[in-house]
Structure 1
């Protein structure tokens, strides 16, 4: 096999492949043997139909198209490997003239990611993004969420213990079922129609699609939330003030990380904007199509043209970011060594209270090992850019 390439553009490569006549003839012979096994003709046993009979019946060239297809499928991957090309979309092939006794040549238009050169990526100047201060109301919201998470279901007591009120947990039995279900009575929803009814009553609920559910109210419960002091001790803190202080600290750390992440992407986008990058069009269209298909599988409504446009722009920006990060990583030697990667796996496994070998096996099983490494390397590049940037206070 002879393979050559012609660079048409930063993202388009024309590959030419020539297969020797001997291999072409062998492929034709293989196909005739296969056809002889699969085709039944009167007077011949399966697998015993002579080639001459097949040619007389179907024509000498009836397997030529199959031969071209299989030769291309066999030799194109070899050519791409030999030429060190990594297509990002299915190559578009164009076969040449075919003669079973001659060399067979074909061409393939191959889309590749461009080689990006990033010149200026240190001392990038950007405006700071102030961190939003943590308010008492933010801490209150977390405390309330924690109280709800640690709430327990208890039978409703008091004069109205048998009456369903908004927010109550109602034990119901659907007609024809033995199972008791627990529904929260929520105004504006189907379960909200239970509000005002009593234990022992049967209520007919009409669903949006016109079906009727006959349900009997078996009991009423409420969520009993712990008070602040009880919650604090449950979570291992001395008192509610200590818990609130811990929550405030975690919120501040979270917002600091979010601010830093925003600044890193702002620096990266500044570099992307000043770096000329030509994107492979079919590759981008394939990514857009995949995302639209995912939306459809999730039952989302068909997007408007403006939504598709925004999606395409977001995907293009994501690809540009990845190309710039990869270029800087290579230039600065920021790729993880195998030893560094093993150390990172061990650290992450410790955080998850897992053994490193089990954590690696988990990533491999889920097909996430390489992406975990790539994400870590991207973060190294972003940290490098962040340390070497000039961040100015936001003008008042």
Structure 2
């Protein structure tokens, strides 16, 4: 086989491939065997029909077509390897010559990974926010614990902010009940929001047995975003009684004996969370600084496909959250054009970052062992609220995901190397240490086996 490559652009290549007829023989033999299994010819058992009979009964052209379908992907793949090209999309193939007993010639145009010169990333400077755990942060966490262990008691008064009410609710449009927009005996906290616009204002001030009508827009179902008439009736008003923050509460809500120990633990956990947020900020800042030092041309087809995928995912998230795109843009103070421009910028940065990290990983010859793959699958499952056993079962049914996970792991290693080689400081000028940071926000002891796995935390966070 002979092949030649023509560079159409930094991200587009044209392969011209010529395959001698002799190299087609294995595919021709395979085609004859497959067709022999499919045809019934009197006097011959299925699968034992000679090639000469197949040529007469089915036609030599059918055999050549089947052989062509078999050999094309093989020779295309060989040509890519021969010319050190990494495809980023499906090729546009055209057979330019294919005669019986003659050579096969075809051309293939395909988007390819551009040549990337990795810039020096040792000592890249980046600044991140200070780690600050305020008294308000502490109080918010303690308050959340109090609410979790709070109790509800009925009260004979009108509902107010933060009260719990039991409600019946029904929505209609043009006098007809809206399917799926009727609830009965539902507990709802006044001021919580997130259900129907206007609901909080409607129930506030109502006592048990009273009802109120209002109009709102549905946040789900077939009529999402449409105006409906709503009637809500309060059947019960309840006040939440919260436990006092004392040693008894500490023993009830935690493994600690005193409230002082509980609050110290809350502060420590908040600090670990802030440290992980700082690590994520450092990752983004360092990667952004590195990307500014290199020009990476991107195939427009790849960008378009990723943009479409991101849009679809975002639209699904909006539906799940009960929002329309118009409502989201209004809340964010964005125009449609600004949203699209921001989405395209993020997509381009993401693709460029993946290409750069892949290049660094390849140069450093990073590998992936079984333990790393196992831990990666477990982390992904936990992040998605999935049972790890289900994740492993899915991986067995769809083994092609293994290569995707392996790529994520080596990119994480490349990113960890870049970030650890950078000079990251907080706004107060303090050095930010990231090496050995574990997923829980603590640091692995030096020499500990866990320290090796900790490198991924910079990426996973």
Residues 245-268 of structure 1: per-residue CA shift (max 9 Å, x gap) = 112112222222332333333333
Q: Does 1:217 align with 2:241?
A: no
1:358 positional shift:
3.7
**How far 1:129 sits from its partner (Å)?**
2.6
Q: Secondary structure of the residue that 1:266 maps to in structure 2?
A: helix
Query: What displacement does 1:112 show?
Result: 1.7
Question: Shift of residue 180 of structure 1?
Answer: 2.3
**Which residue of 2 is the match for residue 37 of structure 1?**
none
User: What is the CA distance between 1:381 and its match in structure 2?
Assistant: 2.5
Does the CA-based 8 Å contact 2:11-2:298 persist in structure 1? yes
Q: Is the 8 A contact 1:131 1:255 kept in 2?
A: no
Q: What is aligned with 1:181? A: 186
Map 1:157-306 → 2, pairs under 5 A: 157=155, 159-160=156-157, 163-173=158-168, 179-186=184-191, 189-208=198-217, 209=226, 211-229=228-246, 230-233=248-251, 234-299=253-318, 300-301=324-325, 304-306=336-338
What is the CA distance between 1:133 and its match in structure 2? 2.0
Cα distance in 1, alignment partners of residues 206 and 426 from structure 2: 60
Deviation at 1:169, TM superposition (A): 2.4
**Structure 2 match to 1:90:** 90
Q: Which residue of 2 aligns with 1:131?
A: 130
Gaps of 5+ in 2: 39-54, 171-176, 218-225, 319-323, 327-334, 430-461
Cα distance in 2, alignment partners of residues 364 and 144 from structure 1: 41
Q: Report the TM-score, using the length of structure 2 for normalisation.
A: 0.62
Q: Is the 8 A contact 1:360 1:369 kept in 2?
A: no
Question: How far apart are 1:384 and its partner, in Å?
Answer: 2.4
Alignment of structure 1 residues 375-386 onto 2, 5 Å: 375-386=408-419
| Secondary structure of 1:16's aligned partner | strand
User: Is residue 357–residue 414 contact of structure 2 (8 Å, CA) maintained in 1?
Assistant: yes
Q: Distance in 2 between matches of 1:307 and 1:135?
A: 33
Q: Secondary structure at the match of 1:282?
A: helix
SS of 1:245 mapped into structure 2: helix
Work out whether residues 368 and 406 of structure 2, in 8 Å CA contact, stay in contact via their aligned partners in 1. no
Q: Give, in whole Å, the separation in 1 of the partners of 2:428 and 2:184.
A: 63
Contact 1:87/1:110 (8 A) holds in 2: yes
Deviation string, structure 1 residues 186-217 (Cα, Å, up to 9, x no partner): 48622532333332345445444554455543
Does 1:328 find its partner at 2:346?
A: no
Instruction: Point out the more displaced range, 197-206 or 15-24.
Output: 15-24
Per the alignment, residue 144 of structure 1 pairs with 143
Q: Distance in 1 between matches of 2:97 and 2:363?
A: 45
1:225 Cα shift?
A: 2.9
Q: Which residue of 1 aligns with 2:110?
A: 110
Larger Rg: 1
CA RMSD of aligned residues (A): 4.7
Aligned-partner Cα distance in 1 for 2:305–2:256: 52
Q: 1:126-163: CA deviations, max 9, x gaps?
A: 144342322111211222233333434x2323x52xx3
2:119/2:293 contact within 8 Å kept: no
Check 1:73–1:285 CA distance in 2 against 1; reply closer, same or farther (3 A cut).
farther
Alpha-carbon distance in 1 for matches of 2:397, 2:142 = 35
Measured in 2, the distance between the counterparts of 1:95 and 1:126 equals 52
Q: Which moved more, 1:173-182 or 1:100-109?
A: 173-182
1:13 and 2:13 matched:
yes
CA deviation digits over 1:259-303, x for unaligned, max 9? 233333333333332234222222122212222233344455377
Measure how far apart 1:315 and its partner are: 1.8
Q: Would the alpha carbon gap of residues 125 and 190 (structure 1) be closer, same or farther in structure 2, given more than 3 Å must change? A: closer
8 Å contact kept, 2:153–2:241: no
TM-score, normalised relative to structure 1: 0.71
Structure 2 Cα separation of the partners of residues 224 and 369 of structure 1: 51
